[in-house]
């Protein structure tokens, strides 16, 4: 029996509007990955001391991305984010993080002993959590001791915070700009949205497997100044296995080569098809979420298709699954489809004929509660995360100090983070939510610092 093979074979027969970005096709045709899988040999190379093929491939990628240096990652963007944070902030330093930052950024600060100061997050009435440029500037003013700011762009919905003004303001203060661009590996070949590097970031991480034809867990760390590369490699040794996957590095190099040859043309065709779908959505009773969010001042990646569904996101995702179409994710109100240069425009346009067969029935979708004030911070995040802790029943958590982040999805913004005192409102919201809506909660308990 080969249960995993059988599972993957069944999944591969369906329409994929989710990651990985290769969409089931090798960019240069089928290859025998087992035959190519190897280790460090005199005739191969060493990721941590590259001299031959890996060194050349990384130089080619850096040139394509407009970076001073590029380092290949085989543990996803998470390892690169850990390195990026610790590269520019040492133990005891301060980094500014938006409240909805990916847990990898928080964990990077915990591992490096870095203090976190939170940038507040705003939310639209329909539940989009996003960061305002003014709030980033205000956080830098409030914390002149900060060594770096960490921002995510694009987010899961393809929303892009305007970055150039922030980068100028940060650099004028001597603050580094670090960007989680996991969902933007395709941006160097996009005519619509600039990459973080083009906007002035000092370091940015991209997940090759999300929007480029790379295998899962392939990613890259870009550095504006190549002089930072040796220390980045030293930090990376702490974050990744000493036996990196040559197959994943092959897929990173092949993804770059494919995009250099065909990426801009393919992305234009994919965007045109997505725009055709967006334009027709209102005629079918649906809506384009990006159009709804334009008053926020955000930019939007046109290769990310976000459909507002009157029947609710979960119901539309289920209906599409029955048509053998799998989306990346859904929330209460919409579904998110990840498109890449490997998608066929005709398959994207086919969504319209499928949606015509799914006339939306308006569901009663409850309004999302607005974000709460930040709880009192009693301990630094690292202190709380590394302290002795215990599971505490939710109804007994008021007044305790959280050892983990916990909240509701949507909107995916923690109600409480490590080191903060749990409030009555936090407990009430967690208790009144289902397990599927909560994160950071184990059953009906919350991990708190032991008293």
Go through the domains of the chain in sequence order and give each one's CATH number.
33-258 (3.40.640.10), 263-356 (3.90.1150.10), 381-449 (3.90.100.10)
pLDDT at 179: 98
Per the CB < 8 A criterion, the answer to whether 199 and 190 are in contact is: no
Q: Is the pLDDT of residue 311 over 90?
A: yes
Q: Is the pLDDT of residue 389 over 80?
A: yes
Q: Is the pLDDT of residue 201 over 80?
A: yes
Q: Is the pLDDT of residue 258 over 80?
A: yes
Average the pLDDT over 146-154 and give the result: 97
Query: In Å, how far are 402, 415, 448, 449 from 427, measured between CA atoms?
Result: 11, 9, 13, 16
pLDDT at 360: 87
Least confident window among 91-100, 121-130, 359-368, 437-446:
359-368
pLDDT at 344: 96
Task: Report CA 404 to chain centroid distance, whole Å.
Answer: 20
pTM for the whole thing? 0.95
Q: Is the pLDDT of residue 267 over 80?
A: yes
pLDDT digits (tens, 9 = 90+) for 332-351: 999 999 999 999 999 999 99
Structure tokens given for 231:
């220390």
> pLDDT band for position 13 (50/70/90)?
confident
The 8 Å CB, 24+ separation contacts for 273-277 are 273/343, 273/345, 273/346, 273/348, 273/349, 274/302, 274/303, 274/305, 274/339, 274/348, 275/302, 276/348, 276/349, 276/352, 277/305, 277/348, 277/349, 277/351, 277/352
Q: Is the pLDDT of residue 210 over 90?
A: yes
> pLDDT band for position 108 (50/70/90)?
very high
> pLDDT band for position 29 (50/70/90)?
very high
Average the pLDDT over 411-430 and give the result: 93
pLDDT at 437: 85
Average pLDDT, the chain: 95
Q: Is the pLDDT of residue 410 over 80?
A: no
Q: Are strands 219-223 and 203-207 parallel, antiparallel or unpaired?
A: antiparallel
Q: Is the pLDDT of residue 372 over 80?
A: no
Q: What percent of the chain is predicted at pLDDT more than 90?
A: 89
Average the pLDDT over 120-138 and give the result: 94
> pLDDT band for position 269 (50/70/90)?
very high
Q: What percent of the chain is predicted at pLDDT more than 70?
A: 100
Structure tokens given for 391:
């599971």
> pLDDT band for position 253 (50/70/90)?
very high
Structure tokens given for 3:
């249960």
Q: Is the pLDDT of residue 371 over 80?
A: no
Q: Is the pLDDT of residue 33 over 80?
A: yes
Report CA dihedral (3, 8, 9, 13) to the nearest 10 degrees: 150
> pLDDT band for position 368 (50/70/90)?
confident
CB atoms within 10 A of CB 141: 10
Q: Is the pLDDT of residue 182 over 80?
A: yes
- Tokens 């289902």 label which residue? 434
């Amino acid at each position: 029996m080969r249960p995993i093979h059988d599972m993957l074979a069944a999944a591969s027969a369906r329409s994929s509007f989710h990651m990985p970005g290769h969409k089931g096709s090798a960019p240069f045709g089928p290859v025998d990955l087992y035959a190519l899988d190897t280790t460090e040999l005199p005739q191969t190379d060493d990721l941590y001391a590259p001299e031959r093929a890996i060194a050349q491939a990384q130089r080619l990628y850096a040139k394509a991305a407009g970076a001073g240096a590029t380092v290949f990652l085989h543990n996803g963007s998470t390892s690169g984010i850990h390195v990026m944070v610790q590269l520019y902030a040492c133990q005891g330093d301060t980094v500014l993080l938006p409240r909805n930052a990916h847990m990898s950024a928080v964990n990077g600060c915990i591992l490096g002993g870095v203090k976190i100061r939170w940038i507040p997050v705003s939310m639209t009435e329909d539940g989009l959590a996003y960061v305002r440029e003014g709030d980033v500037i205000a956080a830098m003013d409030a914390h002149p001791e900060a060594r770096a700011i960490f921002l995510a762009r694009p987010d899961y919905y393809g929303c892009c915070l305007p970055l150039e003004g922030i980068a100028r303001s940060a650099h004028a203060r001597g603050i580094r700009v670090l960007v989680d661009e996991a969902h933007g590996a395709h941006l160097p070949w996009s005519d619509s949205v600039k990459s973080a590097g083009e906007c002035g970031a000092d370091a940015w991480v991209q997940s090759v497997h999300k929007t480029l034809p790379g295998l899962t867990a392939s990613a890259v760390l870009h550095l504006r100044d190549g002089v930072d590369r040796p220390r980045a490699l030293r930090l990376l040794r702490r974050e990744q296995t000493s036996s990196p996957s040559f197959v994943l590095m092959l897929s990173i190099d092949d993804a770059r080569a494919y995009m250099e040859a065909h990426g801009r043309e393919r992305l234009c065709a994919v965007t045109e098809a997505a725009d055709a779908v967006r334009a027709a959505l209102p005629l079918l009773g649906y809506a384009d979420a990006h159009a709804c969010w334009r008053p926020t001042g955000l930019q939007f990646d046109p290769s990310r298709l976000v459909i507002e569904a009157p029947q609710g996101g979960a119901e539309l995702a289920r209906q599409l699954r029955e048509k053998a179409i799998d989306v990346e994710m859904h929330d209460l109100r919409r579904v998110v489809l990840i498109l890449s240069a490997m998608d066929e425009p005709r398959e994207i346009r086919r969504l319209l004929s499928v949606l015509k067969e799914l006339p939306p029935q308006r569901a009663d979708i409850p309004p999302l509660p607005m974000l709460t004030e930040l709880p009192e911070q009693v301990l630094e995040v690292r202190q709380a995360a590394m302290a002795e802790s215990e599971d505490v029943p939710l109804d007994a958590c008021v007044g305790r100090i959280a050892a983990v982040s916990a909240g509701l999805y949507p909107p995916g913004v923690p109600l409480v983070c490590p080191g903060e005192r749990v409030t009555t409102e936090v407990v009430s919201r967690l208790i009144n939510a289902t397990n599927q809506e909560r994160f950071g909660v184990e059953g009906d308990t919350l991990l708190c610092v032991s008293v």
